[in-house]
Copies of this chain bind each other. A is one copy, B any other.
Amino acid sequence: MAVKIITISRQFGSGGRTLGKLLAKDLGFEYYDREIIDRVAGETGFSRDYVAANGEYAPGNSIISYSFEAAGTPGIMNGMTTTDYIYSIQRKKIIEIANAGKPCIIVGRCADYILKEFDGVLNVFLYADLDYRAKRVVATYGESDTKPEKRITDKDKKRAANYKHFTDREWGRPNNYDVCLNSGYLGVEKCAAIIEDIVRSSN
């Protein structure tokens, strides 16, 4: 079965975006990451920042999320929490992208789970040691008052909680994916080469 869609789940700081962009360039696939945020923001009226924060990092059962109503669309959330509503629109956008039929790469956002009934999907999990990721986070996003190790574990905990809420699966458990690569050991370029080989030999 030829691979047409690559989903990339990734530990924070492991280089998931860099990997996705490399693959998109080398394979000629479309690349979806923040583009999904734009589409969800466009449909819901929420700000990009709000979608970004709630689309991957919010647990579904946050009390705070009960107090909102979708901006400009009263009644449309039908009693859903904001997080559930954003997830439902995000899910719809991901399915639209998959159904459009163009080879593509989707980073994060439970895409591995959302597309589990689709053919030709390769699910990748990217991870690395904390030291490696801490250095990458500072190089990529800069210093902050919070130590990079704490920023990483906070983000990963939120991603795991978000994934668990919407999929009832354990984030980062190998069996959810087809290949899991340690970018700290292999380097992002080698990870890309391995995935490109899998994709090319699937045709």
Chain A interface residues toward B at CB < 8 A: 125, 127-129, 172-175, 177-182, 185-186, 190, 194, 197-198, 201
Interchain CA distance A128-B179 in the complex, whole Å? 10
Q: Are B186 and A179 in contact (CB under 8 A)?
A: yes
Q: Are B174 and A180 in contact (CB under 8 A)?
A: yes
Q: Which residue of B lies closest to A128 (CB)?
A: B175
- Contact residues in B for A198 (Cβ distance below 8 Å): 186, 190, 194
Interchain CA distance A125-B177 in the complex, whole Å? 13
Copies of this protein chain in the complex: 2
User: Shortest beta-carbon distance, A134 to chain B, in Å?
Assistant: 14
Interchain CA distance A182-B179 in the complex, whole Å? 6
Q: Are B182 and A177 in contact (CB under 8 A)?
A: yes
Q: Are B182 and A178 in contact (CB under 8 A)?
A: yes
Q: Are B178 and A179 in contact (CB under 8 A)?
A: no
Q: Are B178 and A186 in contact (CB under 8 A)?
A: yes
Residue picked from A174, A182, A190, most chain B C-beta under 10 Å: A174
- Contact residues in B for A172 (Cβ distance below 8 Å): 173-174
Interchain CA distance A129-B178 in the complex, whole Å? 10
- Contact residues in B for A182 (Cβ distance below 8 Å): 174-175, 177-179
What are 30 A-B residue pairs whose CB atoms fall within 8 Å in the complex?
A125-B174, A125-B180, A127-B174, A127-B175, A128-B175, A129-B175, A172-B173, A172-B174, A174-B174, A174-B182, A175-B182, A177-B180, A177-B182, A178-B182, A178-B185, A178-B186, A179-B179, A179-B180, A179-B181, A179-B182, A179-B186, A180-B180, A180-B181, A186-B198, A190-B198, A190-B201, A194-B194, A194-B197, A194-B198, A197-B197
